Amino acid sequence: KEEASRKVELGDYISFATDFRQENSRATGKAFDDRAGCAVLMEVIEQEQRYEDDLYFAFLVQEEPGLRGSAVLFEQVCPDLALVIEGTTAGDDPGLPEHQWATRLGDGPAITFMHRGYVVNKKIYESILRVAQKYDIKHQPKRRTAGGTDAARLAKTGGGVPAGVISVPARYIHSPLSMIDLGDFENTVKLVSKILEEGEGFAR
């Protein structure tokens, strides 16, 4: 306490200085939760593809303290449907029973059928699965319904927006050192890209 008091005062903001590292098929870095989703969107944007429908990429804030950013997004864009891309818990930890694992690193992007506050529209959920199967993209269901995403806020704002949820599994997602599988990340980029290419098929 005495040492810390010489460097900071009560109320100061501090954070861990964690470097990004990539080794073999894994990457580690700070707080990969929704940052993994942002990175997926950037990869899709950099492909510079043109799509038939209007498409908005939104990098939202304050999901954790109350899904605040997505409510503002609705007022500005009023989308017909949404695809939430994020990071989610990988439960494949030796200290946790397998039946409690939400996802597993290396098994591909996690596709959510429901979570706290939201049940994914069945047509959207099945469309995501159909695209993954059509292009032989490795994927997995998210096996726990704990936690939430901006899809819940979109469903409850205005007239409601149906939304799918695709996640990059990450170990220790809210910690100073998170871990993702690069294959999962690449397959998430591929899945999102193919969904956008399919266009209207995603909404049917």
Q: Report, as residue numbers or ranges, the catalytic residues.
A: 63
Cα four-point dihedral sign 142, 80, 48, 72: negative
115: amino acid identity, one letter: H
Helix runs in the chain, H state only: 2-5, 33-46, 68-77, 122-134, 150-155, 182-198
Instruction: Report how far Cα 176 is from the mean position of its chain's Cα atoms.
Output: 18
> What are the DSSP calls for 22-52, one per residue?
EETTEEEES--HHHHHHHHHHHHHHT----S
Question: How far is it, in rounded angstroms, from Cα 172 to Cα 110?
Answer: 16
Query: How buried is 92 (Cβ within 10 angstroms: 0-12 exposed, 13-18 middle, 19+ buried)?
Result: middle
DSSP letter at 98?
Answer: G
